[in-house]
């Protein structure tokens, strides 16, 4: 079993949560989202993020608007919808509970 595969799966599992969390501060262009994720050591490529953004939009969690660009094609800026804000609140609660549970399990001594 390779540790890199497990680490990649763990990152994938929280990627939606991270994207929604980035957008809670306001709208963002895809490259800005990617840069924020990369700065946080969330190794993500464009081929992963575009389908995920589309899925989140189709689920009604995100909306977008087009803005003309002076140096190329128009840019699509994403933002949270009201549904997305509520969904993110639930994810934050779940994340806190999960974090506490994992910390408890991984820091306790097992007795058998």
Show me where the domains of the chain are located: 3-106
Query: How many angstroms separate the CA atoms of 4 and 90, rounded?
Result: 29
Q: Is the pLDDT of residue 110 over 70?
A: no
Q: How confident is the model over 14-27, as a mean pLDDT?
A: 95
Does domain 3-106 fall under CATH 1.10.10.10? My reply is: yes
pLDDT in tens, 60-100: 999 999 999 888 889 999 999 999 999 999 999 999 999 99
pLDDT of amino acid 72:
87
Q: What DSSP letter does each residue of 64-107 carry, written as one string? A: EEEEEETTEEEEEEEEE-HHHHHHHHHHHHHHHHHHHHHHHHHH
Q: Is the pLDDT of residue 112 over 70?
A: no
pLDDT of amino acid 27:
96
Q: How confident is the model over 23-37, as a mean pLDDT?
A: 94
Residue 62, SS3? strand
């Amino acid at each position: 079993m390779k540790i890199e595969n497990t680490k990649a799966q763990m990152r994938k599992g929280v990627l939606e949560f991270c994207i929604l969390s980035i957008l809670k501060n306001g709208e963002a262009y895809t490259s800005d989202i990617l840069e924020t994720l990369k700065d946080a050591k969330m190794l993500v490529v464009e081929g992963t993020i575009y389908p995920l953004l589309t899925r989140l939009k189709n689920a009604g969690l995100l909306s977008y608007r087009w803005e003309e660009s002076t140096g190329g094609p128009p840019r699509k800026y994403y933002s949270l919808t009201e549904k997305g804000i509520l969904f993110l609140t639930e994810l934050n609660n779940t994340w806190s509970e999960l974090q506490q549970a994992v910390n408890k399990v991984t820091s306790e001594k097992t007795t058998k």
